Amino acid sequence: MKLTDNALTVLKKRYFKKDDSGKSIENWQKMVERVAENISDGDAVKRERYIKLLDSGYFLPNSPTLMNAGNDLQQLSACFVLPLEDSMDSIFETIKKAALIHKSGGGTGFSFSKLRQANARVRSTNGVSSGPLSFLKVFNAATDAVKQGGTRRGANMAILSVDHPQIIDFIKSKEDTSELTNFNMSVGITKPFMDAFYKDEEYSLIAPHTQKIVGQLNARDVFSLIVDMAHKNGEPGIIFIDRINEFNPTPHIGKIESTNPCGEQPLLPNEACNLGSINLAAIVEKGEINWKKMESIIYDCVDFLDDVISMSKFPLPEIDEMVKANRKIGLGIMGWADMLFKLKIPYNSQKAIDLAEDVMEFIDYHSKVESIKLAGNKGSFPNFKGSIYENRELIRENNKFEWQKLKDDIAKKGLRNATTTTIAPTGTISMILNSSGGIEPQFSLVYVKNVMDGEKLLYINPNFEKAIKDIGIYSKELMEKVSEAGSIAKINEIPDELKEIFVTSHDISPKWHILMQAAFQKYTDNAVSKTINFPKEATKDEIRMAYQMAYETNCKGVTVYRDGSRENQVLNVGKEIKMVKENGNRTAPRERPETTAGITQKVDTGCGHLYVTINSDTKGACEVFTQMGKVGGCASAQLEAIARLTSLCLRSNVKVSSLIKQLRGIRCPSPMWHNGDMITSCSDGVARSLEKYLNIDPDSLQDIEEINKNYAKKMEKSKTTMHSTCPDCGSSVEHSEGCLKCYSCGWSKC
């Protein structure tokens, strides 16, 4: 398979096997062979099938499978849900289990709904409970302490039922975005709550430990509070938990309480699921979908994912037991937006909605055909007896396939997998295949990519680039104009027929986002990971209507994001790359006064002790001086250059926070720990010093002890707040598929 430079960067950094020095010892072909060899477990015929499948560009499994298959860890699943009962033993046992999962590279979901509310009586101690919110903070701190898979912090989902007595506190728990930074938050919405909402009535709050009614709230007031918080910063999301349990394939085994971190995988406690996605864009040939090829790919994918379960080493024995009793797989898609581009179908059209149903029904139907075949060869999943399948309760409307016959076949012949379909985030695997993520529309057709040595390049969607070149209007200047605008909707040079087809996230109204999610949900066993994007000026009423529409169109949950609503903007289109002539309008730096005052900080770096002096004049910080021990030569010269340019920016009224963003996270070959933080380079050390300086009260410059104490508190609180730029490479990051991700290097928050 031909790989882009971007894909190779991601693979080398995150997927290829490395030696003890951190150097890659694999290439694409060797990685494919490693994974296929492991998952086929000695079956030579399967090995060749799986090599062909992985190298085709038509399918990739979730990242843990690519990273860990055939390696010592052998943890191949991405998502887990852990039980959480109302006892200290259960709470802290679950924290321990979550730490082990995060260490192995997985994400975790929890329902806090069984924990009694704050100030409820605890008989065993004759005291009172501190409530689910206090324990949520403990989970968050524990996650901070565990580095996930050596590359990132663990991601979590926290769900609280809307009828829990502390639901108001939960809804407002991320009003301060520096709190609970390792958690996505969702309210578990019940049918009684929605009934009360539509009737404008009160609903009951129920104490988890006694099941007694302890209060009532107006459903519309609570719904409005959820909308207010979501409008402010995108959280909490909502999960329609009763609807999810309507589709629980094994209700005789237990009730679904939570989902994985991005919300697309509802799971029983102690359950995991392994995921994979078909690249729809690659299946379009000569302007048409190759349905026969898709059918063949689906069969291979189901075989592969089922074998992944057999080969995976799960971090806990109880998870191993539950996973192998249900054998859930989640086959989904990526490249949907690119498929629509190739077929010349607008994302925001009924034709696209109809095609979404057709595509997902095709995948769901044929995935079950293959699962029936596997059951004949290997046996049904052990919990099949008593499941919805044995009782012919598989819920599908009659459409293009013989669903009734399929239900009868399953009841007679069995089914290998309790679920077969999921629409999951495909952040890095879609980057490897140079395809759009999941079912999301393209965020931008042209965007700025940061590369080595601070150079900025334009990335252009290949389908858009071809269309522009085909009609003869391609130019670098036009592409820069598209990058700056973030959309082609108002660019006069581009014909209307292309504007209709090449729509991006913010060209599409929330109505079409939700209709698309609902279309895919109709034929998906589990759930659909998607972000409903709103423009910055969107009103609370618009978000309220989106939530209602999601419920009314049978979605299982919904996540919204209003552009610019977080403290730090996480989307970054419209950055222009232009040469400006020197005789243009320029800002001259203010004069340096004869006397300035400031502080000097010591920072440990890989090059030695770095001393950074920051001085102020009457308008604020105005200059930076650096000194690196006794070193000279290039290192000393570069530090002086950084200091001089930073000083020039400060006296030109550039925001200190803007300078920090540019300097922080720049990496050198010799990072160093300093007071519990990794200093990635001397530039990063200067950024940390500026950051500390920002938090100093000018009237207390002499109180050094107080300065250090306040700074330590501030840094601990903001370690994992939302990034406007990627913490690894400095490129812009995008909020989509329920997660933050960087398209330049593959970094993901989830």
Give one DSSP letter per residue of 714-726, joined into a string: HHHHHTTPPPSB-
Q: Assess contact for 111 and 137: CB atoms under 8 A.
A: no
Residue of 6, 257, 262, 691 with catalytic role? 262
Lowest mean pLDDT among 510-519, 521-530, 712-721, 741-750: 712-721
Tokens (6 digits) for 408? 């009868």
- The contacts of residue 160 (CB under 8 Å, 6+ apart) are 111, 112, 113, 132, 166, 167, 170, 187, 188
pLDDT for residue 228 is more than 60 = yes
CA dist list (Å): 213 to 112, 192, 204, 478:
18, 14, 6, 63
Backbone angles phi and psi of 319, in degrees to 5? -70, -45
Q: Confidence band (pLDDT; 50, 70, 90) for 660? A: confident
Considering only residues 390 and 127, tell me which one the structure prediction assigns the higher pLDDT. 390
pLDDT of residue 149: 47
CA distance 395 to 389: 10
Q: How far is it, in rounded angstroms, from Cα 21 to Cα 466?
A: 42
What's the pLDDT at 583?
A: 42
CA distance readout (Å), 117 to 112, 210, 354, 554: 10, 11, 46, 31
What are residue 456's DSSP bridge partners? 450
Q: How confident is the model at residue 325 (pLDDT cuts 50, 70, 90)?
A: very high
pLDDT tens string 383-434: 999 999 987 776 566 678 888 899 999 999 999 999 999 999 898 899 999 9
**Confidence band, pLDDT 50/70/90 cuts, at residue 708:** low
Max intra-chain CA distance, the chain: 90
List, in order, residues 6 or more apart from 664 with CB less than 8 Å away. Answer: 684, 687, 688, 691
- Average pLDDT estimate for 7-32: 92
User: Rounded distance, CA 646 to CA 623, Å?
Assistant: 7
pLDDT of residue 618: 74
Q: What's the pLDDT score for residue 692?
A: 80
Q: 260 an active-site residue?
A: yes
Q: Give the long-range contacts of residues 291-296, CB within 8 A, separation 24 or more.
A: 291/362, 293/58, 294/362, 294/363, 295/362, 295/366
- What pLDDT is attached to residue 670? 67
Whole-number Cα distances in Å, 605 to 544, 608, 681 = 49, 5, 6
pLDDT at 569: 34
CA distances (Å), 372 to each of 43, 293, 303, 408, 663, in order? 21, 20, 11, 11, 56
Band (pLDDT 50/70/90 cuts) for residue 602 is: confident
For the chain, how many residues are written?
A: 750
SS3 18: strand
Identify the band that residue 697 occupies on the pLDDT scale cut at 50, 70 and 90.
low
Rounded to an integer, what distance in angstroms lies between the CA atom of residue 216 and that of residue 205? 5
pLDDT digits (tens, 9 = 90+) for 665-695: 787 766 776 776 778 888 888 988 888 877 6
Residue 238 above 50 pLDDT?
yes
The catalytically annotated residue of 68, 248, 260, 533 is: 260
Cα–Cα distances (Å) from 508 to 280, 493, 599, 613, in that order, read: 21, 21, 51, 49
In the set 235, 257, 264, 542, the catalytic residue is: 264
Average pLDDT over residues 594-598: 77
Domain borders along the chain are: 79-246, 444-502, 597-718
Cβ burial, residue 453 (10 Å; 0-12/13-18/19+): exposed
Using the predicted structure, report yes or no on whether residue 578 has a pLDDT greater than 80: no
Q: What pLDDT was estimated at residue 705?
A: 56
Give the confidence band of 153 by pLDDT, cuts at 50, 70, 90: low
User: Where does residue 471 rank: exposed (0-12), middle (13-18), buried (19+ CB within 10 A)?
Assistant: exposed
pLDDT given for residue 275 in this prediction: 96
State percent of the chain over pLDDT 70: 86
> Does residue 546 carry a pLDDT above 80?
yes
For residues 705 and 628, which has the higher predicted lDDT (pLDDT)?
628
Average pLDDT over residues 433-438: 94
Any catalytic annotation for residue 262? Answer: yes
- Rounded mean pLDDT, 639-659: 85
**What pTM, to 2 d.p., does this model score?**
0.80
161-213 pLDDT per residue, tens? 999 999 999 999 998 888 898 999 999 999 999 999 999 999 999 999 999 99
- Whole-number pLDDT of residue 473: 96
pLDDT on residue 703: 55
pLDDT computed for residue 568 by the predictor? 40
Centroid of chain to Cα 443: 15
**468-477 contacts, C-beta under 8 A, 24 or more apart:** 468/494, 468/498, 471/495, 471/498
Mean pLDDT of 319-335: 98
pLDDT > 90: what percent of the chain? 61
Specify the pLDDT at position 720: 40
Encode pLDDT of 97-118 as tens digits. 999 998 888 899 999 999 999 8
pLDDT for 727 equals: 61
